[in-house]
Amino acid sequence: MLSRVASSIYWLNRYIERAENYARFIEVNVNLTLDLPRGTTEQWEPLVATTGDHESFTSRYGKATKENVTQFLSADVANPNSILSCLLAARENARSVREVISSDMWEQVNRFYLMVRDAVSQGLSSRNLHTFLADVKANSHLFLGITDATMSHGEGWHFARLGRLLERADKTSRILDVKYFMLLPTVTEVGTPFDIIQWSALLKSASALEMYYTRFGRISPDDVTAFLILDSTFPRAIRYCLIKSEDSLHAISGSEHGSYQNQAEKRLGRLRAELDFGDLEDCVTGGLHEFLDQFQAQLNRVGEAISETFFAPRPIHSIITGAETQ
């Protein structure tokens, strides 16, 4: 597969997944504010903080109000990670590989983009925000379903899954991190109904509420953290994402599990092993936020290695035609 094509498929999927997760970010907060006891102020600042685009937001919007943050995360083309920007980028990537993906996939990216464009141009208000976020998630799921059902599960598909799951691992870690930024009114409130509300909102925005209940039955901060980081069967849990990403990486390069042929496999393998042989203790001992921060940095290095291994326009080296030496 052409390096450029592999790169475009990978990024197309990263961008679609990113758009979906931004919708989830906003949802965490919308879910929370609906459940807030009277008299508590809405917190929109944590949302911006967790995306890592805090500086760009503050310089352009100043105060983190619901309207500002929603605009910044969903409709702002000057924010390269906003939902609209993601769809524009996804569509350009899809356009440049139209001959490789199925026409159903292209049409879905196109419809998804048109939906976002139209919704944004009509303006997002409290009344239609919920519908918009639900539509973004549904369109992303539809794209994923169409990809799985209409694209051969070969090299291109593995690049697609790799892009999607690395993006998802990063974003699940950030959704979890939102909690860290959410300042509870007082320390004594940890473990109170209000605290529980926040954890449930988190699970809900990761579509994890039902699966979590099935496994644990009641909300406890430790269990929620363990579930979102270490579960190997829940598709939005970080460990699950790493396991499947690694499967795809090995499928692409053809190397055995437990070995590595390139930097990408080496770095991802080590990161996955850390979670395979880690427990909640390891995640929270030095502070959950610090753990997640470090995890995101390591994940970035995996991304860099993938880019260098498969996408970078390396010079094509002369092919040695085995000249016989006597």
Partner 1 sequence: MKFSEYDPGEFYDELYEGKGQPRPGSTLLLRKFASLPEGELKKRQEAAERVILNMGMTFGIHGGDDGHEQIFPFDIVPRVVVASDWERIESGLRQRMRALNLFIDDVYHDQTILKNGVIPSELIFSGKGFLLPCMGLNPPRGIWCHVAGIDLVRISDGQYYVLEDNTRCPSGVAYVLEARQVMKRTFPELFEAYRVRPVDGYPSQLLETLRSLSDLPDPTVVILTPGIFNSAYYEHSLLAHKMGVELVEANDLAVVDGSVHMRTTKGSQRVDVIYRRINDDYLDPLAFRHDSILGVPGLMEAYKRGRVALANAPGTGVSDDKAIYAYLPKIINYYLAEEPILPNVPTYLCSDRQDRTYVLEHLDQLVVKATNEAGGYGMMIGPHASKQEREDCARRIEADPRNYIAQPTLALSRVPTLVEDHLEGRHVDLRPYVLYGRDVYVLPGGMTRVALRKGSLVVNSSQGGGNKDTWVLS
Contact between 99 and partner 1 per CB under 8 A: yes
Among positions 187, 297, 316, 323, the unique one binding partner 1 when judged by CB under 8 A: 316
The residue among 157 and 199 lying less far from partner 1, judged by its C-beta, is 157
Place of tokens 């760009």: 56
Place of tokens 């849990």: 237
Two structure tokens written together for 202:
């988190």
Contact between 15 and partner 1 per CB under 8 A: no
Two structure tokens written together for 160:
């697609």
Among positions 110, 207, 263, 296, the unique one binding partner 1 when judged by CB under 8 A: 110
**Footprint of partner 1 on residues 66-85 (CB under 8 A)?**
77
> Dihedral angle at the C-alpha atoms of 216, 295, 284, 243, nearest 10 degrees?
30
**Footprint of partner 1 on residues 234-293 (CB under 8 A)?**
252
Contact between 4 and partner 1 per CB under 8 A: yes
Q: How far is the CB of 5 from partner 1 (least distance, A)?
A: 8
152, with CB counted inside 10 A (0-12, 13-18, 19+), is exposed
Contact between 296 and partner 1 per CB under 8 A: no
Contact between residue 282 and residue 292 where contact means Cβ atoms under 8 Å apart: no
Query: Looking at residue 72, what DSSP letter applies?
Result: I
Contact between residue 17 and residue 164 where contact means Cβ atoms under 8 Å apart: yes
Task: Give phi and psi for 138, each to the nearest 5.
Answer: -65, -40
Contact between 134 and partner 1 per CB under 8 A: no
Q: How far is the CB of 62 from partner 1 (least distance, A)?
A: 24
Among positions 42, 54, 100, 184, the unique one binding partner 1 when judged by CB under 8 A: 100
Q: What is the largest CA-CA distance in the chain?
A: 89
Contact between 3 and partner 1 per CB under 8 A: yes
Contact between residue 182 and residue 199 where contact means Cβ atoms under 8 Å apart: no
**Footprint of partner 1 on residues 193-232 (CB under 8 A)?**
none
Among positions 40, 60, 63, 98, the unique one binding partner 1 when judged by CB under 8 A: 98
Question: Which has the closest alpha carbon to 119: 111, 221, 106?
Answer: 111
> Which amino acid is it at 130?
H
Contact between 95 and partner 1 per CB under 8 A: yes
Contact between 301 and partner 1 per CB under 8 A: no
- Going residue by residue from 137 to 166, which x/- string records binding to partner 1, judged by CB under 8 A? ------------------x---x-------
Selected range binding partner 1 among 2-10, 53-61, 143-151, 206-214, rule: CB under 8 A:
2-10
The residue among 104 and 274 lying less far from partner 1, judged by its C-beta, is 104
Selected range binding partner 1 among 68-76, 94-102, 264-272, 284-292, rule: CB under 8 A:
94-102
Contact between 119 and partner 1 per CB under 8 A: no
SS (H, E, C) 255-310: CCCCCCCCHHHHHHHHHHHHHHCCCHHHHHCCCHHHHHHHHHHHHHHHHHHHHHHH
Among positions 319, 323, 325, 326, the unique one binding partner 1 when judged by CB under 8 A: 319
Two structure tokens written together for 241:
């994402």
Two structure tokens written together for 97:
């590989």
Residues found near partner 1 in the complex (CB under 8 A)? 1-6, 77, 88, 91-92, 95-96, 98-100, 103, 106-107, 110-111, 113-114, 117, 155, 159, 252, 310, 313-319, 321
